[in-house]
Amino acid sequence: MSEENNNLVPLKVLLVDNDPDHAEAMAESLERIGYECKIATSGPEGAKLVDEYSWNIVVTDLVMNDVDGMEILRHANEKQTNCEVIMVTGHASVPKAVEAMQQGAFTFLEKPITPKRLQAVSSKAADSVRLRSQNLALHSRLDEKFGYENLIYASESMKNVITRLKRIAPTDAGVLITGETGTGKDVVAQAIHQNSPRKKKPFVAINTAAVAEHLVESELFGHVKGAFTDAISDRIGKFEYANGGTLFLDEVGDMPMATQIKLLRVLEERKITRVGDNKEIDVNVRVLAATNQDLEAQVAAGKFRADLYYRLKIVSVHLDPLAERREDIIPLADRFRKMANQKHHKKTRNFSPELRRWMFNYTWTGNVRQLKNVVESLVVLDIDSELDMDDLSPDLLGTGAAPVNSSPGDSSHSVLIGQSLEEIEKWAYENTLNLTGGNREETARILGVSERTLYRKINQFGFN
């Protein structure tokens, strides 16, 4: 049995019954098959125990004075996270028991109750509890995984982005995410959602550029039957789907002007109206938007509403092109290589030093997405588990490539002028380690020092 199950064993059962003897008999029959039981002989006592302790199964009489079984169920629904409620009823109160099931009771048992039936029904409830506990454990593990760990970075520029995200995510603020295509706007939007109090609610994305202009409003706000020719039935829109959660408006720069004014209204009033309807519907949605366009220029050109632009950009996050944060390239490539290994059942071990140098210097016009695609194709085409320059598609070697022999970060050499030798040395060690993905042997070879010297320098400069 797995870990999550163990912490449920023995399952905790609360029995609520006005008749102490009956309660005692039920408890005995459940203890015999390994449950841990507690008895409450009045409704109020039962409700108090439901509020204050955690239970896996509550067996309650439906008809009681003061506080009845329905009330016990309401307390359980409110306070318990993983608990099934079984109603015990007399023949006359079966309709009430059905109502209880509609309110979330697991099932009901008609009196007189034999130990055998009680045991059978309880063990069904126990299965349901165990299954849910496994799911809960799985979800919390997924949540841990999907923190910021999905975002790979080493550059100062991305470090600053992450610091900013950590401050922004827990709030309800709308965020405008800008950056060239492939810089990671989608991953950032998801990370914001996953690290917000809304993470258990839906994350709904809509790509404005991919929806026909006359359908954008219906996609966002829904429509009623007959609103336009193709509207053959009522349909709910993304805002309603996302209720309680996060709506991600991708390529917001492509939104039609007429829709922009409606969006602005929704952001301000938190109400939507379905197309063809006049009823307002309250929505509670956090809106994230992304664009690869220069919205300010779009505003100047009259293609984007200034008021909406200012509203969206109150909180913004900008992702630099990959070529302006080269320190991220090798760590990203390593992650993508491992992902591609898994996806394609390959066992590639490393990139050759030449290939790494080439990747570091390449002008990734398609940014992280292009790097990911190139690495995936390298892994797929690989035959000897060593990824090398020959595995590169020839069309990549033509454009955008800096000479393979140049050293990392050519573009920033000039920043070294005016620095102390120690600073320059630190820079050289840091960037070469980065280039080799932290491989000490390789770093020492490139810099022409012994590994011992390298080791000393790593300590001296405090690299980890």
Ligand X SMILES: Nc1ncnc2c1ncn2[C@@H]1O[C@H](COP(=O)(O)OP(=O)(O)O)[C@@H](O)[C@H]1O
Residue type, 102: Q
For the record, the structure tokens of 133 come out as 């506990």
Q: Which is nearer to ligand X, 193 or 457 (CB)?
A: 193
Position 152 contacts ligand X (CB under 6 A): yes
Q: Which is nearer to Mg ion, 56 or 246 (CB)?
A: 246
Q: Cα separation of 374 and 366, whole Å?
A: 10
Q: Which of 25, 101, 113, 151 binds ligand X (CB under 6 A)?
A: 151
Q: Which is nearer to ligand X, 188 or 454 (CB)?
A: 188
Q: Which is nearer to ligand X, 256 or 331 (CB)?
A: 331
For the record, the structure tokens of 372 come out as 């990911």
Q: Which is nearer to ligand X, 216 or 332 (CB)?
A: 332
Q: How far is the CB of 35 from ligand X (least distance, A)?
A: 47
Q: Look-up: residue for tokens 């009771």?
A: 105
DSSP label of 252: G
Position 185 contacts ligand X (CB under 6 A): yes
For the record, the structure tokens of 247 come out as 């709506």
Q: Is 86 helix (H, G, I), strand (E, B) or coil?
A: strand
Element (H, E) at 165: helix 156-168
Pairing of strands 246-250, 12-16: unpaired
425 binds, among ligand X, Mg ion, none (CB under 5 to 8 A by kind): none
Position 181 contacts ligand X (CB under 6 A): yes
Q: Cα separation of 416 and 426, whole Å?
A: 11
Q: Cα separation of 240 and 280, whole Å?
A: 12
Window 307 to 336, contacts with ligand X (CB under 6 A): 332
Q: Cα separation of 419 and 99, whole Å?
A: 78
Window 352 to 371, contacts with ligand X (CB under 6 A): 368-369
Position 186 contacts Mg ion (CB under 5 A): yes
Stretch that binds Mg ion, among 22-30, 88-96, 141-149, 179-187 (CB under 5 A): 179-187
Q: Which is nearer to ligand X, 291 or 431 (CB)?
A: 291
DSSP secondary structure of 132-154: HHHHHHHHHHHHHHTSSTTS---
Position 162 contacts ligand X (CB under 6 A): no
Q: How far is the CB of 285 from ligand X (least distance, A)?
A: 20
Give the residue nearest to ligand X (CB): 184
Position 179 contacts ligand X (CB under 6 A): yes
Q: Cα separation of 286 and 267, whole Å?
A: 9
Position 186 contacts ligand X (CB under 6 A): yes
Residues interacting with ligand X, by CB under 6 A? 151-153, 179, 181-187, 332, 368-369, 372
What residues make contact with Mg ion under the rule CB under 5 A? 185-186
